[in-house]
Amino acid sequence: MSKGKNHNNNTTILSKDEIELFRTTVDDTKPIINQKNPPYRKTIKAKALFTKKDNQYVLTESLNVDIDLQEENNNDILRFQRSNITPNIMKKLSRGFFSVQAELDLHGMTSNEASSILKSFISESILDNLTCVRVIHGKGLGSGTRGPVLKQQVNRLLRRWDQVLAFISARQVDGGTGAVYVLLRKN
């Protein structure tokens, strides 16, 4: 057998006699079947069917959860109503049905400052004949172990005014448990 090398692409060149000899030698051979992976059995890619369905279910549920209802189950919600305020009015107030006509943000104030400013704000709102205002008191995250100082102060002060008919923690988009909608009596 004479083998020659093609110097351009490093491939072996066989003569016609060598090719014919190879063909006659392997003519009656049969391919060896690999016993580990027979050709009739397809390898199956592992899939966790229930995990995929579970993940889809969790995603769907998370998109359907009403964050306002989730916060309602939270003990941090402030809620107060006079006896003449119906549950229907409270539901409307909690869902932001009433237009907020004025807003006060107490963030960063001391307890004394917040008390004074809240009194002025409510008094002016009543004089202006406003029916619904929002008071942002914060969630008290910076208060440490004392808990939400301004939040509790707002809760106590608002209950004292006869002109305050009701208040409830705001919807999540309006501050959640860090703010309240206040329903005022008209003059």
Long-range (24+ apart) CB contacts under 8 A made by 121-126 are 122/158, 122/161, 122/163, 122/164, 122/182, 122/184, 125/101, 125/184, 126/163, 126/184, 126/185, 126/187
Name the burial class of residue 121, with classes exposed (0-12), middle (13-18) and buried (19+) by CB atoms within 10 angstroms of its CB. Answer: middle
Domains of the chain plus CATH, in order, are 76-184 (3.30.1370.110)
Give the count of alpha carbons within 13 A of 186, CB side only.
Answer: 1
pLDDT on residue 108: 83
Question: Is the confidence at residue 160, as pLDDT, over 70?
Answer: yes
pLDDT on residue 55: 62
Mean pLDDT across the chain: 79
Q: Which residue has the higher pLDDT, 9 or 14?
A: 14
pLDDT on residue 70: 46
Residue 98 Ramachandran class (φ > 0 left, ψ -120 to 50 alpha, else beta): beta
Which is nearest to 25 in space by CA: 1, 42, 6?
1
Angle between helices 149-160 and 111-127 (to 10 degrees): 40
pLDDT on residue 79: 93
pLDDT on residue 127: 93
pLDDT tens profile 110-149? 889 999 999 999 999 999 999 999 999 888 776 666 677 8
Which is nearest to 76 in space by CA: 6, 10, 141?
141
Question: Is the confidence at residue 4, as pLDDT, over 60?
Answer: no
pLDDT tens profile 45-93? 555 555 566 566 556 665 665 544 444 445 588 999 999 999 999 999 9
The whole model's pTM is what?
0.60
Strand partners, 12: 5
Question: Is the confidence at residue 181, as pLDDT, over 50?
Answer: yes
Q: Tell me the residue length of the chain.
A: 187
Residue 176 Ramachandran class (φ > 0 left, ψ -120 to 50 alpha, else beta): left
Tell me the residue ranges of DSSP E strands in the chain.
4-6, 11-13, 79-81, 102-105, 132-136, 164-169, 179-184
